[in-house]
Structure 1
Amino acid sequence: MNEYVFELKDVSIAAGSDTLQINNSDSVFGAIPSSMLWIDSYRPRFVQSVDNTARTVTLTANWDGADVINKPATIAPFPSLGQQQNAVDAVNSVKSSAQTLLDRFLSLESTYRDYLADRFFTLASLIENNLHYQTYQEMIAAPNPSVSNVMAFVWNDPIVANNGLYGFDGSNWEWSVFNPAVKDDIENLGIEYQSQNASGLAFAIVDENGLRTWLESDIKGKPTSHAIEKIKLVSDFYTGSEVFDFFESEGWENIDSSLESIAYSVVDENGLRTWIESDLSGNPTTNSIDKIKQTGEFLDSSEIIENISSQTGSESFNSSISGVAFALVDESGRRTWLEADLNGDPTSQSVNRMAAALGLANKWESGPNFVAWGDSLTAGTGGNGTPYTQHLQSLLNSVGSSASVTNRGVGGEDSVTITARTNANPFLCEVDNAQIPATGRVNITLMPINGVIPAPLKQGPSSYAATLNGVAGVFGRTITNSIYQYWFERDTDGDAVECIGEYPLYLTSSYAHQEDIAIIWMGQNGPTNARTVNDARAVAAYLSPPQSRYLVLSKPGGNSYQDADDAVFFAEFGRRFIPVRQLLSRYGLQWAGLTATQADLDDMATGAVPASLRYDAIHLNTPGYQCVAKIIFERLTELGWL
């Protein structure tokens, strides 16, 4: 760095403008025309002129990026020919090193080819000496091999479980536990084919395709590890330590047909009761609950099962219920707690009734209300006063939903600031004079949250009700010469409170949304894609119900170059992630019933949101926000959250 390099802490420039505004007292006196300007991750631009009095920098071309608000920037001279030559030499050096590595790799090619050929020859020899049968009965009917340790494949038996690899032990054919997968997509489905030779399995209820569900018992009448894993996929019965580690205890008993209050009980081949049974109200019996208690410590409290007999809620079974593969009903046709969805997992009714019987938190799943966290896109900039949340509310009302949608969007905020507002990663404060005084206001300094300083209260509200180090009060700011000063003022007088160090500041209003279904839309204002993913994960984890529900939306700005960013979100959140830009680019005009203009076609060719759905380079217009609401509504319907 030299005297012609300028580090600017706070600048702004609008999309399409050639004038950059310096928002503080940073000087650009002496800046050289044709210097280069860097802002965040945007490509550098060239400086045409500077005006230190007006605190502006004029660029050689209009800014073609998104609106920049309160961001740092750097101005530096264009490198000399010597500096450019040094850079070229460095690139050539890297190229030479890469060529050396490539040459070394190619020299190993023949050795690697020989290695593969040798392994293939060995495998082919093994297969050549084995036996092959189309059906299991064909193998049994064939003469036994004259020696033991012979392998055989059954490859096309109509009974799926009979197919696979067998070994001859000298007198009998034994099915091998080292069989290959039956279907390539087993891992995607989360289910597996039932095997008559599964070790320790007394029985399993399967669907019409022979696929195991979560309803099965081991030879001691307890849930199998497969059943427990299925339950774990849809629940969090523990409060801090792993609880599914204790499946050794006994707990079976002879079935007594004279037992009252039992609608039915699934028993093993010896007539012993398992954990799968239902009382006359369709709820788990005391025996079921006892067996579940024996296999885990579901709560830290000493007593976890109370008033089981009062847990009711059976309902008439409706064969048209969406997403239910089967349900066991009582003699009156009412659904019990024993049912599975299309993937073989417990249905939401099963989970909720188990939670009630186990005495877990009253709120098992997020909802029914919604909260929308975000920046100006959530606040609705460009939407003619109607953000997407209002359009979503109308769609919910149209299907008879009583759920409400609360908008918590504030313009200009990055993901760090938004996450702090949710209380997931709260604001961290240093208090002037290291104490909250007995009365009145005290200035505070916001500290970095994992390396990034949040910037709240620049748009939207000028203060929030908050709690700092156990003291209730108001968190606000004053602005002097574009400099923000944050402060905290306690609600009521009291003793001074010592605050040596950094203390979290929690917003009071955010607590009310911990049980809501969260719609998280942030990252357009930075700081980075990776940080936005981490912040979205933190907001989702902060939701209080064990079965939390949330959606994460991508930023709409940019083009297909941002597909890689979306891929990172999808890898983290799966179907809970909505790639807004990609969907609006491909289908938005059709959803909105609009005819594409040439500008729209040009945008769509690059993967950008069509101009007819945008207010500016970043923000959407009314049809655009209506499309966002439609996408969210359809995803909520798909996930079964309405």
Structure 2
Amino acid sequence: MSLNFIKRISFIYLLTLNISCSVQEKIENTDKVLIDIGDSLTAGSGGDGNSMSKVASDSLGSDWTVKNMGVGGENTLTIGARHGGIPMYIKQSITIPKDGSKVEIPSGLYSSYNNEKVLPLLQGSAGINPCRIDTIQCKLTRNQDKYYINRITPASTDYKTKKNSTILTSLSNEKEGVLTIFIGQNGGYASSSELLDQIDLFVKHKGNDNVIIITSHGNSTAEIVKLARDKYQSKYIDLKEYMNTYAIYDAIEFGLLPSNGEYPTVEDLDRMDKNKTPNTLLKDGIHFNSIGYELLGRLRYKKGKELGYW
């Protein structure tokens, strides 16, 4: 066997090994996805470009894909419809035209949780399209309080749906990586136990327990906190408690606020005594400013680190 032949075989082996390692690395990195689902507090409204998701993206680096799936104004049922944990459906049978033109959904969209109406696409469409009815890939749109749907790829025949047909969103297929569930500020539940039940459906749909659960600093109650903490334990963040106690002192320690004695202000301390978030961290009564979102983001990042997610 010649030396040149041996060299060629060695080169091919090393090339194959490198390609194999590269493919393996890509396969492993498919798990490095973080999806944040929620309302305007997840979206980062009032943060001047900052959000929990942005902080994570900056901290995790380019190896991770961070998807902010927060949409303002949505209650838990509408968020669940986008996520797929609580699917939405169309009550009546409709005919989806073969040519791709839009057809109105006459009575709107309903939640599979309690048959109440859901209202997606009011302030954003994160994760909805392309959606699917049975095997038909579609696009859901809204115009002047009416909902429409059309098939994306024209076909040879119209498609008639059955009554109570489910609409499955694009986001409903994304179950990889880590999911942060930050819902509840805008209602959609009749009791604390019902909120927890809905969170459970989000987690069940994901298919594993690689989750972080956050309850709102605005309307979270002692009962909600107890139920969520008892169920999800170390995977749970009580944002209300953090914002009312440690947050502003962390802001000073992190250099987000000056340490010259100006903060916390008298008003901040008064609000904290009343179990409310300091105004220094807020844009308005509910939404955080850039500093508030930075603190939220760091808190969530720390939790993920503790849980071994990253």
Q: Give the whole-Å Cα distance in 1 for the aligned partners of 2:35 and 2:277.
A: 25
Tell me how far 1:506 sits from its aligned partner.
Answer: 1.1
Counterpart position of 1:180: none
Counterpart position of 2:198: 535
Counterpart position of 2:31: 367
Structure 2: any 5+ residue segments left out of the alignment?
1-26, 258-262
* Partner amino acid, structure 2, of 1:575: S
Tell me how far 1:431 sits from its aligned partner.
Answer: 4.6
- Find the partner of 1:404 among 60, 65, 77: 65
**Residue deviations 1:321-355, cap 9 Å, x none?**
xxxxxxxxxxxxxxxxxxxxxxxxxxxxxxxxxxx
Counterpart position of 1:627: 295
Tell me how far 1:584 sits from its aligned partner.
Answer: 1.4
Counterpart position of 1:505: 167
Tell me how far 1:510 sits from its aligned partner.
Answer: 4.1
Tell me how far 1:402 sits from its aligned partner.
Answer: 1.8
Q: Which has the higher strand share?
A: 1
C-alpha contact 1:435 1:500 (8 A) present in aligned 2: no
C-alpha contact 1:431 1:442 (8 A) present in aligned 2: no
Counterpart position of 2:15: none
Give the 3-state SS of the residue equivalent to 1:447 in structure 2.
strand
Pairing of 1:500-579 with structure 2 (within 5 A) = 500-511=162-173, 513-528=174-189, 529-544=192-207, 547-558=208-219, 562-579=221-238
Give the 3-state SS of the residue equivalent to 1:542 in structure 2.
helix
Give the 3-state SS of the residue equivalent to 1:527 in structure 2.
coil
C-alpha contact 1:366 1:549 (8 A) present in aligned 2: no
**Residue deviations 1:441-483, cap 9 Å, x none?**
222231243223211011023973211122112111111xxxx
* Partner amino acid, structure 1, of 2:146: Q
**Residue deviations 1:397-455, cap 9 Å, x none?**
3xxx72221101100001111111111222111355x4323332222231243223211
Q: CA RMSD in A?
A: 2.2
Pairing of 1:202-351 with structure 2 (within 5 A) = none
Q: Give the whole-Å Cα distance in 2 for the aligned partners of 1:548 and 1:449.
A: 23
* Partner amino acid, structure 2, of 1:531: E
Give the 3-state SS of the residue equivalent to 1:530 in structure 2.
helix
**Residue deviations 1:199-235, cap 9 Å, x none?**
xxxxxxxxxxxxxxxxxxxxxxxxxxxxxxxxxxxxx
State the structure with more CA Rg: 1
**Residue deviations 1:233-289, cap 9 Å, x none?**
xxxxxxxxxxxxxxxxxxxxxxxxxxxxxxxxxxxxxxxxxxxxxxxxxxxxxxxxx
May I ask how many residue pairs the two structures share in their alignment? 267
- Find the partner of 1:596 among 264, 267, 272: 264
Q: Give the whole-Å Cα distance in 2 for the aligned partners of 1:366 and 1:422.
A: 19
**Residue deviations 1:52-81, cap 9 Å, x none?**
xxxxxxxxxxxxxxxxxxxxxxxxxxxxxx
Counterpart position of 1:613: 281
What is the percentage of aligned positions where both structures have the same residue? Answer: 24
C-alpha contact 1:465 1:509 (8 A) present in aligned 2: no
Q: Which has the higher helix share?
A: 2
Distance 1:461 1:500, change over 3 A: closer
Q: Give the whole-Å Cα distance in 2 for the aligned partners of 1:508 and 1:589.
A: 38
Q: Give the whole-Å Cα distance in 2 for the aligned partners of 1:542 and 1:448.
A: 15
C-alpha contact 2:35 2:68 (8 A) present in aligned 1: yes
Q: Give the whole-Å Cα distance in 1 for the aligned partners of 2:53 and 2:113.
A: 31
Counterpart position of 2:103: 442
Q: Give the whole-Å Cα distance in 1 for the aligned partners of 2:215 and 2:35.
A: 17
Give the 3-state SS of the residue equivalent to 1:372 in structure 2.
strand
Distance 1:404 1:366, change over 3 A: closer
Counterpart position of 1:585: 244
Normalising to structure 2: TM-score of the pair?
0.80
Q: Give the whole-Å Cα distance in 2 for the aligned partners of 1:373 and 1:571.
A: 22
C-alpha contact 1:431 1:443 (8 A) present in aligned 2: no
* Partner amino acid, structure 2, of 1:535: Q
Counterpart position of 2:13: none
Q: Does residue 306 of structure 2 align to residue 638 of structure 1?
A: yes
Q: Give the whole-Å Cα distance in 1 for the aligned partners of 2:218 and 2:224.
A: 12
**Residue deviations 1:565-601, cap 9 Å, x none?**
2111112211111001101111001111141111111
C-alpha contact 2:130 2:139 (8 A) present in aligned 1: yes
**Structure of greater relative contact order (alpha carbons < 8 Å, 6+ residues apart):** 2
Give the 3-state SS of the residue equivalent to 1:405 in structure 2.
strand
Structure 1: any 5+ residue segments left out of the alignment?
1-361
